[in-house]
Amino acid sequence: MAAALPLVLFVLLLLGPVGRGHAEPPRDSLREELVITPLPSGDVAATFQFRTRWDSELQREEVSHYRLFPKALGQLISKYSLRELHLSFTQGFWRTRYWGPPFLQAPSGAELWVWFQDTVTDVDKSWKELSNVLSGIFCASLNFIDSTNTVTPTASFKPLGLANGTDHNFLRYAVLPREVVCTENLTPWKKLLPCSSKAGLSVLLKADRLFHTSYHSQAVHIRPVCRNARCTSVSWELRQTLSVVFDAFVTGQGKKDWSLFRMFSRTLTEPCPLASESRVYVDITGYNQDNETLEVTPPPTTTYQDVILGARKTYAVYDLLDTAVINNSRNLNLQLKWKSPPESGYVHYQPAQDRLQPHLLEMLIQLPANSATKVSIQFERALLKWTEYTPDPNHGFYVSPSVISALVPSTVAAKPVDWEESPLFKSLYPVSDSSSYFVRLYTEPLLVNLPTPDFSMPYNVICLTCTVVAVCYGSFYNLLTRTFHIEEPSTGGLAKRLANLIRRARGVPPL
Amino acid sequence: MVASSFLRKCLTTLAGLLLLSFGSLAASQIEDQTEQFFRSGHTNNWAVLVCTSRFWFNYRHVANTLSVYRSVKRLGIPDSHIVLMLADDMACNPRNPKPATVFSHKNMELNVYGDDVEVDYRSYEVTVENFLRVLTGRIPPSTPRSKRLLSDDRSNILIYMTGHGGNGFLKFQDSEEITNIELADAFEQMWQKRRYNELLFIIDTCQGASMYERFYSPNIMALASSQVGEDSLSHQPDPAIGVHLMDRYTFYVLEFLEEINPASQTNMNDLFQVCPKSLCVSTPGHRTDLFQRDPKNVLITDFFGSVRKVEITTETIRLQPDLGNMESRYKKEWMDEELMEPLKYAEQLPVAQIIHQDWSGHHRIFGIPGASKHFSVIMIPSNTLTFSEQSPLSWRARPQVEDHCR
């Protein structure tokens, strides 16, 4: 055994020069990218994409040398004759209403859809075997995919890569909504990356931060793409994407300032040496909106403008392969800060204290022209003590109306008020400025229904309890504390004898 | 003259004696090494770690299994030789205040889930049938490699089980049980198929000793956290997480294993002393009558570690990439391209083609009145919805397809 090892090394050395005669490996390249998007709700979304492009004809030749493209997936493509594979694991739901449109959304749970090549004879058998193999690679329960949850869509899910015919018989789609995503799915996903999690953008992928998010989606997409602009030959493209949305309230403690360290508990130190491109894009479209300015440090050297998802967006670009970006401090910690100009409004809020004082909220707002402003407040209903209820609680409880005091600009300049000369209806409110008039408006009072307890219950309970106590306890008490003895009837006294005499005389039976 | 020859003779005898002593020393060293080498008959190690409980309040069973997983990985068994079965997900459970972590000590001292975990059977896949199939090797042919126990007759296997159990059974996921007779028969199948060299069985449940009562195959050593009629108790709750974090027996076993490194010489007798009644409240038990070697000669690393013999060489080996023929190859490709036609991408939503396509054997041509320019295809692949085959007229009566994504 000990001698076998040097022998093996010797044999390897021998084989080395001989092996060079075979075909050299095709070219492959890696591009990695991170897009950071501050969302309108104060959260921040981060989308990682790692794209490995491999100029090889996997179907035609015997491939034995893998460099950047992972061997596990390459062997899958050739063994099961795949044309396209899309697999995603998601936890959470992308809230389009609060966050805007997503780059790439995936359903909650696990989703797998695959296009097979037209050389496959038994698509269902290949589909079943493929889902079993993928469940082993990604540590997920994809082996539960069978005919009960697989469909063959006929109109949607056209191939995303090159296609010369779309016979939907070669397409299969399945979703497992109960599938959980956790570190055990992230670990094999990270191991497919060329730089694993040692260098480049993938050092930011730490499980304890990535799963403390409102939305987490990781996916693997394999498809054939054009090798060049003329599109005469085919390359294989592997895209690994990971989207997370960090919650401002949970992770950011309510503040809207973000930095890479706060999001991922890591900073970027060096680019992946195997990557030909390694960039970070920060969405600075909201640079000047809502009277807040977004400041990004360190300041970007270049920006990128384009129409994305139907809107014109601007991105700040940080190229990690550019030595100026990282060299200054040996690490890159991007920071986003929202700066608002000095406050021109006023808010005063005094919360309620139970049985002491009510809520008071006062706001000074400037209403924009030709618009509707809506102010809404959420409140909770607390339970009252049973003595605090009014005799008619089913009527409800009133919340006092709100007051709006407004200074409305007037279109026509008014004359200054003379208190003694002008009529009484003009001098209700003292006005100093003739260009606007003062008005105080009230809203309707609010009637709130509280759940009403059944007030007759105490009476019912007392009656029932007393009856039970009287019947049961009383009977036992009697049985236990009273003795019964037979009483001889007494023979009677003088009055009884006299009465019996009179009764005998009348013919009535005696006492 | 005589003195010099006498000196020479002395020197030669001295040299001879020294050589002899060195030789014997060397020989004894080689003997020691070979004896160590052949001390235990195994050449590879496997581990099957099973947590059988579901639901958040059984957090401690998952933490038990993960702490044994962590020790076993630390001592050298690779993920490809570990079959980890967890019946529920605690780390990414919505009730976990620190996602992607499972703690074994309160105040969140030790995260046994780690950053590099690979769970082979999870959630609904942890069933009695799957467990027995893993042990006996009768697995459907499409099972991936990471879910198989590919042991041979020179493998030492560690089997750890935890969950809720009783006298003679262990409960799987609150819906089924495995009995001690089934387990003993499974081990006998493994023995007859030569699937193990030696087997260490550890169980941390209530009345755990009942599970190893029925074993009858050779070379099995078993440990349990409590005797028949006793309950195994949990260790300490964490106020932030809100549940008990570990069971007592496994907590003290983890403490014991943290002291072990791949080169340590601690033997099984020390493991039998872990967690006496004063600490564990229950009485841990063990069974060694089926085991051929003496427990004091069995190292902990024989089962928990995977000690491999490695030889380090100091030679440098150069691997040269071949750049010579690459240029000519790409020139060849460039010339080939001139002859082929350009390929194109598929259209994602070809409306005209979808409307006129042959769907389920009938030609259905339905136009949407007041057609708007925005189309989308809504696919509902749920097996709870059924579309009945009605006349084409009823299709027209359905509501218009609206733009869905706003």
Evaluate if residue B200 carries a pLDDT over 90: yes
- Going from N- to C-terminal start, the domains of chain B cover 44-302
Sign of CA dihedral B122, B127, B130, B135: positive
Average pLDDT of the segment spanning A66-70: 91
Chain A positions in Cβ-Cβ contact with residue B147 (cut-off 8 Å): 135-136
pLDDT, tens only, B81-125: 999 999 999 999 999 999 999 999 887 788 999 889 999 999 899
- Report yes or no: B17 at the A interface, CB cutoff 8 Å: no
- Nearest to residue B234, comparing CAs of B107, B392, B63, B354? B63
Chain A positions in Cβ-Cβ contact with residue B375 (cut-off 8 Å): none
pLDDT of residue B1: 59
Evaluate if residue B131 carries a pLDDT over 70: yes
More confident: B303 or B106: B303
pLDDT, tens only, A318-368: 998 887 777 666 788 888 887 765 555 678 888 888 889 988 999 888 888
Q: Sorting pLDDT into bands at 50, 70 and 90, what band is A508?
A: confident
- In a domain? residue A329: yes
pLDDT of residue A89: 97
How far apart, in whole angstroms, are the C-alpha atoms of residue A24 and residue B326? 7
Choosing from A272, A304, A338, the residue where a domain stops is A338
- Report yes or no: B94 at the A interface, CB cutoff 8 Å: no
How far apart, in whole angstroms, are the C-alpha atoms of residue B199 and residue B202? 10
* Residue A465 lies in domain: 455-506
- Verify whether the Cβ–Cβ distance A233 to B359 is below 8 Å: no
Q: Who's near A275: CB < 8 A, 6+ residues apart? A: A30, A31, A32, A194, A195, A200, A321
Nearest 5°: the CA angle A502, A503, A504 is: 90
Question: How confident is the prediction for chain A on average, in pLDDT?
Answer: 85
Positions of B marked catalytic:
164, 206
Chain A positions in Cβ-Cβ contact with residue B349 (cut-off 8 Å): 156, 158
- In a domain? residue A121: yes
Chain A positions in Cβ-Cβ contact with residue B405 (cut-off 8 Å): 96
- Verify whether the Cβ–Cβ distance A136 to B116 is below 8 Å: no
Q: Sorting pLDDT into bands at 50, 70 and 90, what band is B403?
A: very low
How far apart, in whole angstroms, are the C-alpha atoms of residue B45 and residue B152? 10
- Report yes or no: A211 at the B interface, CB cutoff 8 Å: yes
Radius of gyration, alpha carbons of chain B: 33
Distance from CA of A24 to the nearest CA of B (A): 7
- Verify whether the Cβ–Cβ distance A182 to B348 is below 8 Å: no
Q: What is the pTM of this model?
A: 0.72
pLDDT of residue A86: 96
- Report yes or no: A173 at the B interface, CB cutoff 8 Å: yes
Choosing from A338, A364, A397, the residue where a domain stops is A338
Q: How many CB atoms lie within 10 A of CB A239?
A: 19
User: Does residue A186 share a domain with residue A334?
Assistant: yes
- Verify whether the Cβ–Cβ distance A211 to B92 is below 8 Å: yes
Chain B positions in Cβ-Cβ contact with residue A211 (cut-off 8 Å): 91-92, 99-100
Q: Give the A window 221-260 contacts with B, CB below 8 Å.
A: 226, 230-234
> ipTM score of the complex?
0.74
Q: Who among B92, B122, B320 is closest to A91 (CB)? A: B92
Question: How confident is the prediction for chain B on average, in pLDDT?
Answer: 82
Q: Give the B window 287-346 contacts with A, CB below 8 Å.
A: 309, 311, 313, 315, 317, 319-320, 322, 325-326, 329, 333, 336-338, 340-346
Q: Structural domain tally of chain A?
A: 2
List the single best residue of B143, B150, B345 to mutate versus A (max A Cβ within 10 A).
Answer: B345
pLDDT, tens only, A158-189: 999 988 778 899 999 999 999 999 999 999 99
Is domain B44-302 annotated with CATH 3.40.50.150? Answer: no
More confident: A257 or B257: B257
- Nearest to residue A161, comparing CAs of A111, A217, A219, A231? A231
CA atoms within 13 A on the CB side of B223: 22
What the block records as the tokens of A211 is 């799963």
Map B35-46 to HEC letters.
HHHCCCCCCEEE
What is the pairing mode between strands A446-448 and B121-122?
Answer: unpaired
Task: Compute CA distances B168 → A140, A317, B212, whole Å.
Answer: 32, 65, 9
Beta strands in B291-364, from DSSP E residues, in sequence order: none
Chain A positions in Cβ-Cβ contact with residue B354 (cut-off 8 Å): 154-155
pLDDT of residue A430: 77
- In a domain? residue A92: yes
Average pLDDT of the segment spanning A95-114: 92
- In a domain? residue A190: yes
More confident: A433 or B112: B112
Q: State the burial class of residue A402 (Cβ atoms within 10 Å of its Cβ: 0-12, 13-18, 19+).
A: middle
3-state secondary structure of A336: strand
Cis previous bond, A393, omega within 30: no
